Homo-oligomer: A and B are copies of this chain.
């Protein structure tokens, strides 16, 4: 593979001139520039990003550590992050932590070893050692979706509080009184917050949230199934199951179906995070939708600000309720065409 020296030889100039010509430095004569460009063309030269990074101390690369690419929510997040990063001249390296703190640390360490310019993290857990080291070391960082309380890093996330209140209002209006939740890991902010918001919203209607109606999940389908089986085995099973993410809702659906029960007649179901398939499940599933794309883009902008030495602002976007049939027939007077309404 041709190096800058080869180009210099081919063009009959020094490597400095080649570098200057290629980087748009002003003081290069048109003649020299032309010869460099011609040499680049004939040799098919492409600058070695590794060498450049070593010298300039920047890689123009961002790291993104998420907890599960198989979760459509994170896949969409990853996609929008890459898109915005590309627009700003950065590449993105994705690390999939699989909700495992050790894997998260592995990816953070690997990314740091590669001297990425900045790190976007959706922390899996209360804060793995490697991540905290990275913060302490001053790596430009932004939390996205989830965050670590007490750590001084900008946070870009959705606030589902309002949407959860809307959901509970919706459920209450449909006559449901015994509501249960499949929570995410308590160590994650989204895991805790969604439970808190749910409890708070229930409180506004004078409804309790007994411990038996709080199932501990891990954002994976398997846990949704197990927790739901537990709910269904209760002497007084809940009338509604609210899954804190879409994969646990999938697991809940598995469990309900295995029991031979029907949604929403026997039990209602709702989920945090909307995905396109929810329109076509049996029945269509009521969900709380985040502006995932905007989240990813805002996170990248905040991170690039930090990298550039600017403060990098935290952003909180609203989430919204998308009612469908999984909680019971919506009031026909207010939504004459549920089909229409549930299509984003």
Contact A75 B70 (CB under 8 A): yes
Q: Which of A42-50, A142-150, A227-235, A299-307 contacts B (4 or more CB under 8 A)?
A: A42-50
Contact A46 B276 (CB under 8 A): no
Could you say how many copies of this chain the assembly holds? 2
**How far is the CB of A71 from the nearest CB of chain B, in Å?**
9
Chain A binding site: helix, strand, loop or mixed by DSSP? helix
Q: Which residues of chain B are within 8 angstroms of A279 by Cβ–Cβ distance?
A: 254
Near B by CB (< 8 A), chain A positions 46-97 give: 46-51, 53-54, 59, 69-70, 72, 75-76, 78-79, 82, 86, 91, 93-94, 96
Interface presence of A112 (CB below 8 A): yes
> How far is B63's CA from A91's CA once the two chains are assembled, in angstroms?
12
> How far is B86's CA from A82's CA once the two chains are assembled, in angstroms?
22
> How far is B110's CA from A59's CA once the two chains are assembled, in angstroms?
12
Also in contact, A1 and B113, with CB within 8 A (given A79-B70, A280-B257, A280-B282): no
Interface presence of A281 (CB below 8 A): yes
Near B by CB (< 8 A), chain A positions 23-38 give: none
> How far is B50's CA from A299's CA once the two chains are assembled, in angstroms?
26
Interface presence of A250 (CB below 8 A): yes
- Measured as residues with beta carbon below 8 angstroms from the partner, the interface class of chain A is 35 or more
Contact A113 B48 (CB under 8 A): yes
Contact A277 B257 (CB under 8 A): no
Interface presence of A221 (CB below 8 A): yes
Q: Which residues of chain B are within 8 angstroms of A106 by Cβ–Cβ distance?
A: 86
Q: 1/0 per position for A265-306, CB-CB distance to B under 8 A? A: 000000000001101111110000000000000000000000
- 16 contacts across the A-B interface (CB closer than 8 A): A1-B137, A46-B112, A49-B114, A50-B114, A51-B54, A69-B79, A72-B72, A75-B75, A91-B93, A93-B93, A221-B276, A250-B280, A253-B280, A282-B282, A282-B283, A282-B284
Residues of A within 8 A of B (CB): 1, 44, 46-51, 53-54, 59, 69-70, 72, 75-76, 78-79, 82, 86, 91, 93-94, 96, 106, 109-110, 112-115, 133, 137, 221, 250, 253-254, 257-258, 276-277, 279-284, 339, 343
